[in-house]
Amino acid sequence: MNKLSITSNHRILIKQIFQKKNERLLLLLSQRLFHLNLFYDGVISYETVQVIRYYFPHLKSFSACLPHFEDFRDAIPAFIRQMKSLQYVHIGLEGDNDKKNFGTQDMYDWFRRHNILYEFKLYIDTYTNSIHIWL
């Protein structure tokens, strides 16, 4: 098994996977997984993103739903740079970015402005409010 997808699930399971007491499971997963998709009814926390950076530095693809873009924009470039094997990132955003006048153009500009030095392909899906990044 090298790919795990968790979809429309309770956030409890995702929380539990990353808990200290389940570290054995996490270590086994970290040895095996190259693709991790966490799409379920809810966003993952900043702490979980940090844990993923630590345990899964070799991921080739990663998908998750994150809270508002402005909360995560500082974390994303570091995440992308640290995950050396990453080829594809899909970030779902939680609602109302439009309400805050934070549009897709701003997201695009923001990615361009940051020192992600290599070329990347960015696809912004306004319908599902998500960003797909091919590195």
Partner 1 sequence: MRYDLDKSSNYFASIDTLTVRFEQNVSSVLFGFYIEKLINLDYIKHLVLNDKCHSIATFYELVLRKIIFLKTHLKI
CB of 28 vs partner 1, minimal distance in Å: 6
Q: For the stretch 109-121, what's the b/e string if a residue is b when 16 or more beta carbons lie within 10 angstroms of its beta carbon?
A: eebeeeebeeeee
Which pairing describes strands 61-66 and 35-39: parallel, antiparallel, or unpaired?
parallel
Binding of partner 1 by 51 (CB under 8 A): no
Max Cα distance, the chain (Å): 43
The two structure tokens encoding residue 69: 């873009």
Binding of partner 1 by 17 (CB under 8 A): yes
Binding of partner 1 by 58 (CB under 8 A): no
Binding of partner 1 by 7 (CB under 8 A): yes
Span near partner 1 by CB under 8 A; candidates 20-28, 43-51, 63-71, 81-89? 20-28
The two structure tokens encoding residue 106: 């701003």
CB of 81 vs partner 1, minimal distance in Å: 27
Q: By CB under 8 A, name the one of 20, 23, 28, 70 that touches partner 1.
A: 28
Cα 125 to Cα 24, 28, 31, 132, distances in angstroms: 37, 34, 32, 8
Binding of partner 1 by 4 (CB under 8 A): yes
Residues forming contacts to partner 1 in the complex (CB under 8 A) are 1-10, 13, 16-17, 22, 25, 28-29, 35
